[in-house]
């Protein structure tokens, strides 16, 4: 059984987010799906939902996200946000989680967390409108962190937090991530991605590396712009890549 520091998370976050609650569910299809269901039903209270087990965990680009209880931390934070510009939100979340987890964590654009080119954590962000036409939307920020090495082999090389820091469990990781994440979301709501640009660059896993875009275009990554687009120098010149449907990967050669 996992011991969750629900009260400590609540104590750290509630002063920043009035009405905030922490919930731990033994099993759910997906913590993101659950908070999106609630948002569509008009529930927009700030909540952090930990799923001990997800039966239909979701990753970016329609992929599945698998994790066994204890071996991975899977949770979603739902809160209303009204930034002047949403561009770069997923990168800002990546910066926050990377800074909280481990000094060696790097960011693989747009928001995968890597250590030594192996995936430590992934982020899936969705938003739902409130209706009524105001600027605020309910943001659902789903985070999955590998805590212990997986038993089976994975298609993507993965790394777990316990390989970096023996003894760290899912609850301790959650406690590290939650409060800075809320503070950084509030910073993003005020100022957008700009305050995160240099912080992203400091952890950019792709900088100056050969990359291939999903349409086959080859180039070299040159960091991110003020709105979080990835700059790639290609044969056709510098391109700013903003679509999350574009996959960027280190070239094989």
Q: Which residues are catalytic?
A: 60, 119, 249
Residues 6+ apart with CB under 8 A from 67: 54, 57, 74, 144, 146
**Looking at 63, 116, 134, 165, which residue binds ligand BTN (CB under 6 A)?**
63
State the binding string over 214-253 for ligand BTN (x if CB under 6 A, else -): ----------------------------------------
**Looking at 9, 47, 76, 81, which residue binds ligand BTN (CB under 6 A)?**
76
Backbone angles phi, psi at 175, to 5 degrees: -65, -35
Q: How many Cα neighbours within 13 Å face the side chain of 54? A: 25
Site for ligand BTN in 130-189 (CB under 6 A): 142-144
Q: How is residue 119 written in tokens?
A: 């995936």
65 binds ligand BTN (CB under 6 A): yes
The Cα angle at residue 176 between residues 175 and 178, in degrees rounded to 5: 65
195 binds ligand BTN (CB under 6 A): no
In the bound complex, what is the minimum distance in angstroms from residue 134's beta carbon to ligand BTN? 26
44 binds ligand BTN (CB under 6 A): no
In the bound complex, what is the minimum distance in angstroms from residue 125's beta carbon to ligand BTN? 9
88 binds ligand BTN (CB under 6 A): no
Q: Where are the beta strands (DSSP E) in 116-247?
A: 118-129, 137-146, 210-213, 218-224, 230-234, 237-241
Q: Could you give the dihedral angle defined by the CA atoms of residues 175, 94, 63 and 248, in that order, rounded to the nearest 10 degrees? A: -160
In the bound complex, what is the minimum distance in angstroms from residue 142's beta carbon to ligand BTN? 3
Side by side, the strands of the sheet bearing 210-213 are: 237-241, 230-234, 218-224, 210-213, 248-250
In the bound complex, what is the minimum distance in angstroms from residue 135's beta carbon to ligand BTN? 25
* DSSP structural state of residue 58: B
Residues that bind ligand BTN (CB under 6 A): 30-32, 54, 57-60, 63, 65, 74-76, 112, 122-124, 142-144
């Amino acid at each position: 059984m996992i011991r969750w520091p629900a009260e400590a998370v609540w104590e750290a976050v509630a002063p920043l987010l009035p009405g905030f609650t922490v919930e731990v569910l033994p099993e759910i299809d997906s913590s993101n799906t659950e908070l999106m269901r609630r948002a569509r039903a008009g529930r927009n209270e700030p909540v952090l939902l930990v799923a001990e087990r997800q039966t239909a965990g979701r990753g970016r680009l329609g992929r599945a996200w698998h994790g066994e209880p204890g071996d991975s931390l899977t949770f979603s934070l739902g809160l209303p946000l009204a930034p002047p510009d949403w561009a770069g939100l997923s990168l800002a979340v990546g910066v926050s989680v990377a800074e909280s987890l481990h000094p060696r964590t790097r960011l693989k654009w747009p928001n995968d967390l890597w250590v030594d080119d192996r995936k430590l954590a992934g982020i899936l962000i969705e938003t739902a409108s409130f209706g009524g036409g105001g600027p605020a939307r309910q943001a659902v920020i789903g985070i999955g962190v590998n805590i212990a090495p997986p038993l089976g082999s994975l298609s993507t090389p993965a790394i777990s937090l316990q390989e970096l820091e023996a003894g760290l469990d899912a609850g301790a990781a959650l406690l590290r991530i939650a409060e800075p994440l809320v503070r950084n979301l509030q910073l993003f709501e005020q100022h957008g991605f700009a305050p995160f640009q240099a912080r992203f660059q400091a952890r950019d896993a792709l900088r100056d590396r050969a990359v291939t875009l999903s349409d086959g275009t080859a180039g070299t990554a040159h960091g991110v712009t003020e709105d979080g687009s990835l700059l790639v120098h290609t044969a056709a010149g510098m391109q700013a890549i903003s679509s999350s449907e574009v996959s960027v990967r280190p070239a094989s050669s």
